[in-house]
Amino acid sequence: MHSNPILGVVFHWLGGLASGSFYVPYKGVKKWAWEVYWLVGGVFSWIVCPAFFAWLITKDHNAFGILREIWQNEGIAPFVWPYVFGMMWGCGGLTFGLTMRYLGMSLGMGVALGYCTVFGTLLPPLLKIFVDLGPAVPKSLVDIVQTRGGIVTMVGIAVTVLGIFIAAKAGLTKEREMPEAEKKKAIAEFDFKKGILVATFSGVMSAGMAFAITAGNPIAQAIEAGGTDKLWAGIPRLVVILLGGFTTNFIWCVYLNIKNKTGYQYLASHLRSGHANLAPQNLAQPAAGRAPSADALRIPRASNFFFSALAGATWYFQFFFYNMGESQMGEYGFASWTLHMASIIIFSTLWGVYFKEWSGVSAKARRLITAGIATLIISTVVIGLGTWLDT
């Protein structure tokens, strides 16, 4: 199967749409603590969907048979690094929230995703200069910049970083224009030095997904050798990678369940009265001195499970399409991570516009966010062009 970079860009955009949209269904979850709905959604993101789609897309539905053969013939080695890097990515996702806490939403997202983009994209080909990474990383950074397509691709990556910077600047401008009370509420613990350190850690650790996918290439190659089309062959490696991500998130969510005494909510029909403040926006405010009514504390379990499962499945599809996109990028698959980050920012920002998060901001902030989105769109076109030039 020949590479098709333009199709690869389209798949990466679909992945970015899934990633930028996955949190929307969580808005339908009522009266569950964050750690409850995050773990329920995570079971679908990291366990159910990877297993189901790995089974569905492989020839003769033999994904797990091939994984078993790899284990029998080569032992645990082919699975270790995809799993470890998956855990690394899981740690990055958990500390992403601290980045928002210390830097605010817009600045924190811009800094963390900027780090994630640069490290996830450039570290594998950079390491290739010093360490033989085999066919998992076909070209080193030196090899890349010696071709016309490679130079254009690197320019596209630089344009992506510029777009992220502009988008972060727009968000920072928006935050500065917020009323003082709202600003303190949003970034009450603002700490630039601490925030930069946490953002650096989060960005570097989140880039573990790019490393995990690269480390999982031998699994993808074995699946392809078993008769599955190259377009789908990378998807079964997500079973191993996302199991690593599930491990770190499961440990943290269970810890919060114990700490916050919220573990009962998975199966409970009503909130305990002491937990009425977990989701005040979902509770009718009782009269002074009166406890919330039984109806006000009722947990809509069926809809909560549905919306959490929908959010989890939507989240999974970002890497479903990522793997399809990477399969079309030829020797410049390393640029897939840049395309992924850019498309996430594009679509998550568009959702912010839809939910009127940018209503009432100044013309300067609107110009900046428009320029940031336009720059990111241009960057995806430039990267697609660079990979096409050398196909």
Q: What do you get for the CA distance between the two ends of the chain, in Å? A: 12
Confidence of residue 283 (pLDDT cuts 50, 70, 90): very low
Lowest mean pLDDT across 183-197, 259-273, 340-354: 183-197
- Find out whether 145 and 156 touch, Cβ atoms under 8 Å: no
Structurally, the chain folds into a number of domains equal to: 1
- pLDDT one-digit tens code per residue, 72-88: 999 998 999 999 999 99
What percent of the chain lies above the pLDDT cut of 70? 81
The neighbouring-strand residues paired with 298 are 270
In a domain, 31, yes or no: yes
Average pLDDT over residues 36-62: 94
Query: Residue 356 — left, alpha, or beta (φ > 0 → left; ψ -120 to 50 → alpha)?
Result: left
Is 112 or 313 the better-scoring residue by pLDDT? 313
In a domain, 280, yes or no: no
* pLDDT for the residue 280: 42
In a domain, 246, yes or no: yes
Residues 6+ apart with CB under 8 A from 142: 129
* pLDDT for the residue 193: 72
Is 279 or 146 the better-scoring residue by pLDDT? 146
Query: Does 281 score more than 50 pLDDT?
Result: no
Structural domain for 355, as ranges: 5-268+296-389
Query: Does 188 score more than 80 pLDDT?
Result: no
CB atoms within 10 A of CB 193: 8
Residues 6+ apart with CB under 8 A from 44: 308, 309, 312, 313, 316
In a domain, 371, yes or no: yes
In a domain, 9, yes or no: yes
* pLDDT for the residue 339: 79
Confidence of residue 379 (pLDDT cuts 50, 70, 90): confident
- Find out whether 15 and 325 touch, Cβ atoms under 8 Å: yes
Return the ∠ at Cα 121 (arms to 119 and 124), rounded to 5°.
85
Average pLDDT over residues 60-75: 92
- pLDDT one-digit tens code per residue, 86-120: 999 889 878 876 676 676 655 566 667 777 777 77
Helices 34-43 and 237-260: crossing angle in degrees, nearest 10, is 160
Confidence of residue 275 (pLDDT cuts 50, 70, 90): low
- Find out whether 9 and 339 touch, Cβ atoms under 8 Å: yes
- Find out whether 355 and 142 touch, Cβ atoms under 8 Å: no
In a domain, 336, yes or no: yes
The neighbouring-strand residues paired with 270 are 298
- pLDDT one-digit tens code per residue, 3-23: 777 788 888 889 888 887 887
Query: Does 316 score more than 90 pLDDT?
Result: yes
Please provide the average confidence, as pLDDT, over all residues in the chain: 81
Distances (CA, A) of 213 to 137, 187, 275: 11, 34, 40
* pLDDT for the residue 372: 83
In a domain, 200, yes or no: yes
Query: Does 304 score more than 90 pLDDT?
Result: yes
* pLDDT for the residue 179: 64
* pLDDT for the residue 184: 52
In a domain, 150, yes or no: yes
